[in-house]
Structure 1
Amino acid sequence: MSWMRWRPAMEQALYGEPGGFYRRSEGPAGHFRTSVHASPGYAKAVARLLHEVDEALRHPAELALIDVGAGRGELLTGVLAAVGPALAGRLRPYAVEIADRPAGLPGEVVWTDRVPQGASGLLFANEWLDNVPLDVAEVDEDGVLRYVEVAPDGAERLGGRLDEADARWAADWWPAAEPGERVELGGGRDAAWAAAVGALAGGLAVAVDYAHVRSGRPVFGTLTGFRAGREVRPVPDGSCDITAHVALDAAAAPGFHSLWTTQRDALRALGVSGARPPLALAASDPAEYLRLLSRATAAAELTDPAGLGGFGWLVQTVRMPQPPSLAGLGARRTR
Structure 2
Amino acid sequence: MWVTWREAMERALYGERGFYLRERPRGHFRTSVSASEVFAGAVLRLLGAVDAALGRPAALDLVDVGSGDGALVTRVLRTAEPSLAARLRVTAVDLAPPPPDADPAIKWAAEAPEHVTGLVIANEWLDNVPLDVAEQGPDGPRLVLVDPRTGAERLGDRPQERDLAWLDRWWPLPTAGRRAEIGRPRDEAWATVVGRLSRGLAVAVDYAHPVDDRPEFGTLTGYRAGAGVAPVPDGSCDITAHVALDACAAAGERAGAVSTTLTTQRHALRSLGITGARPSLGTVDADPAAYLRGLTRASREAELIDPAGLGGFGWLAQATCRSLAGWPPGATPAS
State the TM-score, normalizing by the size of structure 2. Answer: 0.96
Counterparts of 2:92 and 2:63 in 1: how far apart (Å)?
6
Cα distance in 2 for residues equivalent to 1:207 and 1:324: 15
- Structure 2 distance, partners of 1:42, 1:147, is 38
1:305 paired to 2:304: no
Contact 1:203 1:320 in 2 (8 A): no
Q: Which residue of 2 aligns with 1:322?
A: 324
Aligned ranges 1:283-294 → 2 under 5 Å: 283-294=285-296
8 Å contact kept, 2:261–2:326: no
SS in 2 for 1:212: coil
Give a deviation string over 1:216-275, Cα, whole Å, max 9, x none: 111110000000000000011110000000000000112421100100000000011211
User: Is 1:144 aligned to 2:137, yes or no?
Assistant: no
Match of 1:276 in 2: 278
Match of residue 98 from structure 2:
101
Aligned to 1:241: 238
Q: Please say if residues 261 and 327 of structure 2, whose CA atoms lie closer than 8 Å, have aligned partners that are also in contact.
A: no
**Partner letter of residue 286 of structure 2?**
S
User: Alpha-carbon deviation of 1:324?
Assistant: 7.1
Q: Structure 1: any 5+ residue segments left out of the alignment?
A: none
* Shift, 1:38, TM fit: 0.8
The reply to whether residue 15 of structure 1 matches residue 17 of structure 2 is no
- Indicate if the aligned counterparts of 1:149 and 1:157 stay in contact, CA closer than 8 A: yes
For the residues of structure 2 that align with 1:237 and 1:121, how far apart are their CA atoms?
38
Name the counterpart of 1:225. 222
Partner of 1:259: 261
Q: Which residue of 2 is the match for residue 206 of structure 1? A: 203
For 2:326 and 2:46, the matched residues in 1 are separated by 9
Task: Determine which of 154, 175, 182 is the counterpart of 2:179.
Answer: 182
Task: Output the CA distance in 2 between the equivalents of 1:139 and 1:323.
Answer: 39
Kindly tell me the number of residue pairs found equivalent between the two proteins.
Answer: 329
| Partner of residue 90 from structure 1, selected from 83, 87, 90 | 87
Structure 2 alignment gaps of length 5 or more: none
Q: Quick one: which of 48, 53, 70 aligns to 1:51? A: 48
2:102 is the counterpart of 1:118? no
Residue 323 of structure 1: how far off its partner (Å): 6.2
| Partner Cα separation in structure 1 for residue 72 and residue 289 of structure 2 | 27
The answer to whether the Cα contact below 8 Å between 1:132 and 1:189 also exists between their aligned partners in 2 is: yes
Code of the residue aligned with 1:113 in structure 2: it is A
2: CA distance, partners of 1:324 / 1:86: 26
TM superposition shift of 1:56: 1.0
Alignment match, 1:131? 128
Q: CA deviation at 1:320?
A: 4.0
CA RMSD for the aligned pairs? 1.2
- In structure 2, the CA distance between the partners of 1:175 and 1:324, relative to structure 1 (3 Å rule), is closer
Equivalent pair of 2:260/2:325 in contact (CA under 8 Å): no
Deviation track 1:121-160 (CA, whole Å, cap 9, x = no partner) reads 10000000000000000011x1511000000210111111
Structure 2 counterpart of 1:171: 168
Does the Cα contact within 8 Å between 1:148 and 1:159 map onto a contact in 2? yes
Structure 2 residue aligned with 1:3: 2
Summarize the Cα distance change of 1:81–1:50 in structure 2 as closer, same or farther, 3 Å threshold: same
TM-score (normalizing by structure 1): 0.96
Aligned-partner Cα distance in 2 for 1:4–1:308: 33
- Shift of the 324–130 alpha-carbon distance from structure 1 to 2, 3 Å rule, reads closer
